[in-house]
Amino acid sequence: MNKDTYKKIVKDYRKKDKYIRNYLSAFLSGGLIGFLAECLYLIIINLTNISSNNARSIITLAIICIASFLTAIGLFDNLIRKCRSGLIVPTTGFAHSVTSSAIDFKREGLINGIGSNVFHLAGSVILYSIIGSFLLVILKVIISA
Amino acid sequence: MSLIYAFLFSGVICLIAEIIINHTKLTPGHVTSLFSVIGSIMAFFGLYNNIINKCGMGAITLISNFGSSLYIAGLKGFRNNGIIGLFSNMLSKSSLVLTSTVIFSFIFVCIYKSKD
């Protein structure tokens, strides 16, 4: 076996190893967010007399607040590097993208910086989900008519 | 029991997203848009409410809930007030997510500076 093929084999193994670690961390961190949110929900429902809709809203608010805060103090980028999609797909990813683009463009001023760039990354989510839901509502109405 | 369902559902969705990111050329931006549209498609088939009943917060914390709540609120608006209702009611349920992200990010951006 010459040096090059050996290197290639090592590289392949490393890649596979990295993939599996990414999958595990995404699964565990994503699951943990759902698990913790559900725990909080059960605690709020059982200990106070807040209605279930309000309890869900409070937890969503808390998640968004924590994600924005961690992004602003600069910790969230490291967390995302470790957990990857586990933090991108939940609402934390949405809050992170809004806060990080706002904080990146802060030095360019309030209007041209923050104002025109807050939805720099999150804009695509808002745009396509509104278009998609709009078309689906129309489709549903046509089908049921 | 709902705790286990919440863990499994959100974990599996994140795992699928990670597989898509690793094996295709799509970026996290593509994947979040894709998943929110998938959420509204699931609501179209009436699946997402059942999932929320079973998995609770595991389904609500995901970005798919944004799409599904847009669809549900839009359909409700159409049933109440026709096409005008669709336009005026679409964002009513997901207003919480949009408003709170804007408010919190603005507050924290005013307080903290970019690191580099």
3-state helix, strand, coil in chain B (%, to 5): 80, 0, 20
Question: In chain A, how many domains are there?
Answer: 1
Structural domain includes residue A98? yes
Helix axes A76-83, A3-47, angle to 10 degrees: 120
Interval B78-93: pLDDT, tens: 999 999 999 999 999 9
As a whole number of angstroms, the distance between CA B28 and CA B30 comes to 5
B7 close contact with A: CB closer than 8 A = yes
Judged by CB atoms closer than 8 Å, whether chains meet at A72 and B33 is answered as no
**Confidence band, pLDDT 50/70/90 cuts, at residue B13:** very high
Interface test with A, best of B3, B109, B113, B114 (most A CBs within 10 A): B109
Instruction: In whole angstroms, give the CA distance from residue B94 to residue A2.
Output: 60
Q: Judge whether A54 lies within some domain.
A: yes
Length of chain B (residues): 116
Torsion of CA A31, A32, A34, A40, to 10 degrees: 160
DSSP-assigned letter for residue B62? B
Condensed to tens digits (0 to 9), the pLDDT of residues B59-84 reads 999 999 999 999 999 999 999 999 99
The candidate with the shortest Cα–Cα distance to B16, out of A23, A32, A34, is: A23
What pLDDT band is residue B116 in, cutting at 50, 70 and 90?
Answer: low
Work out the average pLDDT over A69-84. 90
| Residues of chain B positioned with their CB less than 8 A from the CB of A32 | 7
